[in-house]
Chains A and B, each alone.
Chain A
Amino acid sequence: MLESFMIGFHSIMNPQCILLILLGIIIGILFGSIPGLSATMALALFLPITYSLASVPGVVLLVSLYIGGISGGLIAAILTRIPGTPSSVATCFDGYPMTQKGQGAKALGVGIVFSFIGTLFSTIVLIFLAPFLAKIAIQFGAYEYFAVAVFSLSMMCGLSGKSMIKGLMSGILGCIFATVGMDSITNVPRYTFNVSDLASGFNILPVLIGLFAISEIIVSAETAKKASKMKVVQVDMKHIRGFGFSLKELYGQCSNTITSCLVGTGIGILPGMGGGVANVLNYGIIKNKSKYPEKFGTGIIDGLVASETSNNAAIGGALVPLLALGIPGDTVTAMLLGGLTIQGISPGPLMFTQNVDIVYSIFLTMIFGAIAMLFIEFYGLRIFVKLLKIPKQYLLPGIFVFCVIGSYGLNNRMFDVWGVLLFGLIGYAFNKMRIPSSPFILGFIIGPIAETNLRRGLMFSQGSFLPFVTSPVADLFFALTIFALIFFIISNKKHQSTRNTQNQQSVPSQTKDM
């Protein structure tokens, strides 16, 4: 392992990579902090820049953007009460009340330091767990990969939000769009309508850019004319010592930090879930376990620690299945998968033997990136706060132009650019119909993996399904799939009954008001 680290160290210890880490962190924080922009969008925007870079610098830039993007969300959450990214929703609960109490600088300090701790912890888990998992996964055959793919597809239910049916629809639609093109086993054209450009199917990049960046631009057009200026609370950063909190307060959060690190990393590892789920879920766990749950939401650092540690811990967690199995943990890692594929690298167990430099560059970028994030975010805060005020009418059209370049540069053809518009419209339609977009991405990526391995497995077994159920690893993943489905169905029903009760309670009170 030490030798591999040295290879990674030599790969990134050059001015170009160091500069890209700093640049990636700064731009990532900026994208994370501006509501409406996200880490996914930052990666989409910078993918075309990685075309001309070598593999290591390209990956270094993308990973740095990811770390900065997830952490940057806390700035807007604490200063404006608008979460910069879904990963910082729970940060608003205690971060903004702290700002209102005049503890804005302390809230930012706590958020930044615990983001750093979360990233570092999950990186350590990633360093030890990913190679171990890859060693096991290298022995996987078609049966086992099919079972892993089925388990990953079951996570569509977890990403469904309010309606499981709509989430599943979105996921299946993702699988459907992935069937366009030549069939990977028999080389038969499917849904190509004799259009030569459709023979290679839709590339992942236009799908991601369209669904997450273009649809956002169209959605923002709905309210653009009536938009009001964002109110940003001014925080005095001049008279602050250290990161704004005492060592005693740091020690007091030991138990919360450990729980948050474990929950965040665990949620991140599960395919289909990321920081967005981790921060809200962990906030609830920490609140329930606290001796003073009634104080949560009034502006205490416990809530902030819970949210910011867990969402950053999900970063390393999400990279575990991506690097070890080639399965993205969330939409940002799906974007990373796209970036690696563009560089000609296929994530999975073979990466640990064939692309050691890339794997260990990712590990080291996460460590150096976390350290850079700690200082850049805290000491550059005044600049980031100013950048928060950049009008969207300048930002969004600029982003669109970059998206066009990104998709055009993929194959130097307009087909991919039109593909971006198509998936942008699908994303907008999803938004209007309240259908979640994340399961679509999961279906688009995992659907073909499931199909190829099912059919390949059946070719090995000469049409018999028996080997699929006699493989112990496959059985384990099938059992996990059943367990996950039961869990999601129960939790969905619970949420639904809670919503119904709330609705029933609100109706009499409204009648009373009238």
Chain B
Amino acid sequence: MVKLFVKRYRELLVGVFVGLFSAAYLFGSAFIRRSNIVSLGGEFMPELYGYFLLFLSLLQIIIGWKSARASISDVNTSTGESGKASKTDSKNVLMVFIAIVFYLATIQLLGFILSSAIFLFVLNFLLSPSNSKKNPRVTIIYAILLPIITYFIFHNYMNINLPAGIFFN
């Protein structure tokens, strides 16, 4: 139901979302300190961009509204594509996103090596096709070796001090 709604009103939603963003951006431009020294202050371009984006979002809303109405009439006259199963796996996307956030949030606490090893293992599991043969031994070796080798190379030869974490400090 939600997917059908998003599909039908996608173009309209794009316009509304960008419109709200441009309104917020324009509101924010009011807080930029004005200057009398120069003819165009720091607020000029943000205001210009904000109004132009607002104008574009209004055009998008009109187009989106028209296409949504056309798609409603299409559904009335034909079977449409609504019956087709969606190919995207939203749950997996959410899991990948959570894994990324967890990785970035723990990188300083656990250190680059440990957090990367956990991340590589989890993401390998999330991105593996369900019909493929699982090889946990290869995955574990890959997840452990890659962070250790990269940490060693970047730390010793490229002077990038990646977070060591509480366990290795």
Contact = CB atoms under 8 A, between A and B. Distances in A.
Nearest to A396: B127
Interface residues of A, number: 66
Contact of A402 (B107, B124, B150): B150
Given A190-B42, A405-B160, A405-B162, A393 B127 contact: yes
B160 A218 contact: no
Contact of A221 (B21, B57, B126, B162): B126
B84 interface: no
B136 to A, nearest CB: 12
B89 A226 contact: yes
Q: Which has the most chain B C-beta neighbours within 10 Å: A173, A225, A396, A409?
A: A225
A458 to B, nearest CB: 5
A401 B161 CA distance: 15
B38 interface: yes
B127 A172 contact: no
B169 interface: no
Contacts of A186: 35, 37-38, 41-42
Nearest to B37: A186
A451 B28 CA distance: 18
Contacts of B160: 48, 51-52, 405, 408-409, 412
Interface residues of B, number: 72
A222 B88 contact: yes
Contacts of B97: 218, 425
Nearest to A227: B129
Given A172-B53, A433-B14, A191 B129 contact: no
A366 interface: no
B107 A401 contact: no
B89 A225 contact: yes
Contact of B60 (A169, A412, A417): A169
A380 to B, nearest CB: 24
A52 B13 CA distance: 46
A224 B89 contact: yes
A134 to B, nearest CB: 28
Interface string A86-113: 0000000000000000000000000000
Interface of B: 10, 13-14, 17-18, 21, 25, 28, 32-33, 35, 37-46, 49-50, 52-53, 56-57, 59-60, 63, 78, 87-90, 92-93, 95-97, 100-101, 103-104, 107-108, 112, 116, 119-120, 123-132, 142, 146-147, 150, 154, 157-163
